[in-house]
Structure 1
Amino acid sequence: MLLRLIFWFAAFPNSDEAYYWLWGQHLDWSYYDHPPLQAWIQGIFSAIFGRSTFTLRLPNLLSSLAFFYTYFLIVRYLHKDLNVRVVTLLVLSTPLYFIFLALAWHDHLLITFSLISAYLLVRFLDSYLSDGCGETWRLYGSAIALSLAFLSKYNAVFVALGFFATLMTQARLRPLFRDRRLYIGIAIVLTCLIPILIWNVYNDFQSLRYYVDRSVNPVVSGIKIGPFLGFTLVSFFIVSPFCWIGFYRLLKTRLSVNSIYPIVAFWIFAISSILLTIISLMSAALYYWNITAYLLLFPLLPFVLKKPKPHVIYGLIISVIIVIHYTVLPLSALISKDADPDSRMLFGWKEVATIVQSESQTLNNPLLVTSDYRSASALAYQMNNRNVIAISDRLDQFDFWYRDPRPLQGKDAVILSDDWYPAELMVLSKFDRTSEPITVPVKRFGVWIKNYYVRKGYNFKP
């Protein structure tokens, strides 16, 4: 918890945290990369509390409270001998959840609402099995929570598939397919699609194209051993080897739990893990896409993992390394000058913003232009300026905000770039002429991290 507090207040926003904060300054029905809930929340919180790391990650605190309270309810419901503190410690010590409960990405909302939805559905199904009716409000509450999970991230589909598989494989639950309440619940879930569909209708269904191209349309055909090993090995270590030992034991053990809960947990874990493993062989899958797979397994781990201390020590060590990496010095800079360019972008923004501001004062209301969405988002956050523009060969949300660049024609600009995404690739050709770059080296404790380059550009040509 202390490490979480240090991260909350000391870590500059990860590039995607800043990107999603910027979405909140451009409120819309939905967005190109993800559904809109995280952006809506960021927009509301920054409007009320202003821009700060406290405000940026305050929703994470609130979601974490709801998240762990739901675990408390689950543990209390499953078995009187289960220790809620042990379950909480197992989750907090899992590096995957330490990271994604702390980052102001969509994932903290996804896992919170997914867990709430699963808990309410389990309670409904258990009561349905006992009295043939079930508590309707729990079914509808589960549907509302699942809709919010979908509004957070599309990965909620794995949770929905786990629910469906549970109903299909349990003979005593199949009569629910003749119960109109199930279809009312499905209709509630599908309300999440309304803002997403509205945005896509006006934007040529670009979100759908993005996810199809990213997940199931590989650039090169054939089995992808590298992405497969990346997905499986990173998943193994980011969850922790000790948890995987517990997951394996759970699959072999018949638990004395008088609930449908273990079956729901199994199907969510199996469907998500198998489908993403297949995708990793075809195209690419990232380890955190599987973040919902493990949620329901943690309250079951104390049945088979009698000594949690090795997992806790492992998680504590990894968490300390992560916090140092994000707040003090990117440790990859000690190994290589090129490795891990993403983490290097957490540092140096005060220095960069000072130079950008100084150069801007020599021009008349200039544009602020960068060579990638990451640097544009970080600069926008640092300067609290929603109008920074990214020009790159990658389609991103900036292309939708500046779909018609003609109003920008003829303006001068301050241009920011780095070695990861040089301005020479696309940006400089958009101007009649540009100045020589000012190099802004970023160092911590004498260790070189990266260089940024600041130029002036004259007469922007869309």
Structure 2
Amino acid sequence: MKLRVCLTRYLMIFFFLIFLLLRLIFWFTAFPNPDEAYYWLWGQHLDWSYYDHPPLEAWVQGVFATIFGRSTFTLRLPNLFSSIAFFYTYYLIVRYLHKDLDIRAVVLFVLASPLYFIFLGFAWHDHLLITFSLISAYLFIRFLDRYLADGRGETWRLYGSAIALSLAILSKYNAVFVAVGFFATLITNARLRSLFRDRRLYIAIAIASTALIPILIWNFSNDFQSFQYYVQRSVNPVIPGIKIGSFLGFTLVSFFVISPFCWIGFYRLLKTRLPVNSIYPIVAFWVFAISSIVLTIISLISAALYYWNITAYLLLFPLLPFVLKRPNAHAIYGLIISTLLVIHYTVLPLSALISKDVDPDSRMLFGWREVAAIVQSESQALSNPLLMTSDYRSASALAYELNNRNVIAVSDRIDQFDFWYRDSKPLQGKDAVIVSDDWYPAELMVLSKFDRTSEPVTVSVKRFGVWIKNYYVRKGYNFKP
């Protein structure tokens, strides 16, 4: 028995060290994902909020870049702090729930889930979303448990939960699923309904609602474009009818990015009476059920992406050791997927071995040093030229590589660049260096805005002899907004 315990302990240490090594390799060597560069660029244009998302990640990026400068270390440094707070909260949850729960197993369940390995590592809004959502849920549960015990509860925990929820909403709009899960808990538990007569609940709601202030200020100034974008993206279908492909994409990808082993555990949790003297499992159920059901319905009528449901699973992980005694199979699964992901993002996009067309997004992590060198060379032939690309992704990546906040995107979709350069008259008549690719060719929107353009310089990006993609660099003369 002692030998088995010892081997299990060393095996967990091995898993932790490998996951840490993979995270460090990714942190220091992966070029920013196009959206990471996009949000970094938001931090160079600080505002109340932004078209695509709430502002907290941009504010954080702006502060860190101001203090530490621009680097991949700085870009993902906020993830280190959020991860520390995230896993410390899990430690508090495990210690609170049951004396025999193993925090190492819980952490391993989280780390080895590909969804969280990815989203705790990328400098996207999600690492802040899940951290503040988890903190909010922990404080809210502690408040409810005390309220059930003494009819009063600890007010500071309720208000602390509201502050954390406010920060989660400032990170990403789908924090609303966590809030709705809280309300479902209050509504469905007869002993908790008296809270609706407690003014502290409404003060907490007011505190959480302060997150809407900067978002509303921005939207009032911009014709509520952000809200229109989300309605059109997730509720209004482009083509009416049931979307079986979207539904299967959402459910199947969700199954594999969490891991089949965790889903087995989630199913067992539904059938198991847990030895927990807390409202915790009920809150965990409602947060999971409401988010998952709503997004599944959306996937049937429009489109839902697997990571929109990232808050659904947070409270389930500390319960998994009750029904899955050893996370080894899950850890091996996650280790294989995570290793492939790190190779995919840092060495060679593995999709390039399959086809020349699939996964254009991942291919955009490669080749920017070569592109930037050509852009700088072409710029020397012009007088203070504009730097312009055919899509927000390429504009953001080029801006990051050159450390130049003034790169412009001209494309057929609305993005944050449209709000920064709404008044394009000052750009009229300028020459430009234009970057495009086969995913978003310049011919669609950009070239027609110039009197004439040069023949493109083709930058062919390869790694280990494998072709990844082509970029095209042109000069454009006399820009006409």
| TM-score, normalising length: structure 1 | 1.00
Aligned AA for 1:87? Answer: V
CA distance in 1, matches of 2:234, 2:458: 38
The one of 178, 196, 208 aligned to 2:227: 208
Separation (CA, whole Å) in 1 of partners of 2:36 and 2:271: 40
1:4-83 to structure 2, matched below 5 A, reads 4-83=23-102
Letter aligned with residue 150 of structure 1:
I
Corresponding position: 1:433 with 2:452? yes
Question: Once the two structures are superposed, what CA deviation does each residue of 1:177-200 show, in whole Å capped at 9, x if it has no partner?
Answer: 000000000000000000000000
Residue 177 of structure 2 corresponds to residue 158 of structure 1? yes
Distance 1:285 1:153 in 2: 15
2:299 — aligned with what?
280
Q: Does residue 1:319 correspond to 2:319, yes or no? A: no
Task: Give distance in 2, aligned partners of 1:208 and 1:87.
Answer: 37
8 A Cα contact 2:372 2:401, kept in partner: yes
Q: 1:402 aligns with which of 416, 421, 434?
A: 421
How far is the alpha carbon of 1:247 from its aligned partner? 0.2
Alignment map for 1:25-424 (pairs within 5 Å): 25-424=44-443
Q: What is the RMSD of the two structures over their aligned residues, measured on CA atoms?
A: 0.4
Runs (4+) off by over 2 Å: none
Shift of 1:327: 0.1
The separation in 1 between residues aligned to 2:447 and 2:366, in whole angstroms, is 25
Question: Is the Cα–Cα contact under 8 Å of residues 105 and 326 in structure 2 kept in the other structure?
Answer: no
Residue 256 of structure 1 deviates from its aligned partner by 1.3
Cα deviation digits, residues 166-219 of structure 1 (max 9, x gap): 000000000000000000000000000000000000000001100000011001
User: In 1, distance between residues paired with 2:353 and 2:344?
Assistant: 11
Letter in 2 for 1:213: Q
Cα distance in 1 for residues equivalent to 2:368 and 2:327: 40
Aligned to 2:17: none
SS in structure 1 at match of 2:472:
strand
Distance 2:227 2:349 in 1: 35
Counterpart of 2:224, as a letter, is F
Unaligned 5+ segments in structure 2 are: 1-19
> Distance between the aligned counterparts of 1:219 and 1:96, measured in 2?
28
Partner Cα separation in structure 2 for residue 291 and residue 194 of structure 1: 25
Any stretches of 5+ residues in structure 1 without a counterpart? none
CA deviation after TM superposition for structure 1 residue 307, in Å: 2.4
Q: Distance in 2 between matches of 1:244 and 1:453?
A: 45
Secondary structure at 1:410 match in 2: coil
The alignment partner of 2:120 has SS state of helix
In 2, Cα distance between equivalents of 1:4 and 1:306: 26
What is the identity, as a one-letter code, of the residue corresponding to 1:155?
Answer: N
* Secondary structure class of the residue paired with 2:455: coil
Aligned pair count reads: 462
Q: Give the structure-2-normalised TM-score.
A: 0.96
Equivalent residue for 2:466, pick from 423, 437, 447: 447
Matched residue of 2:161: which SS?
Answer: helix
Identity among equivalent positions (%) equals 85
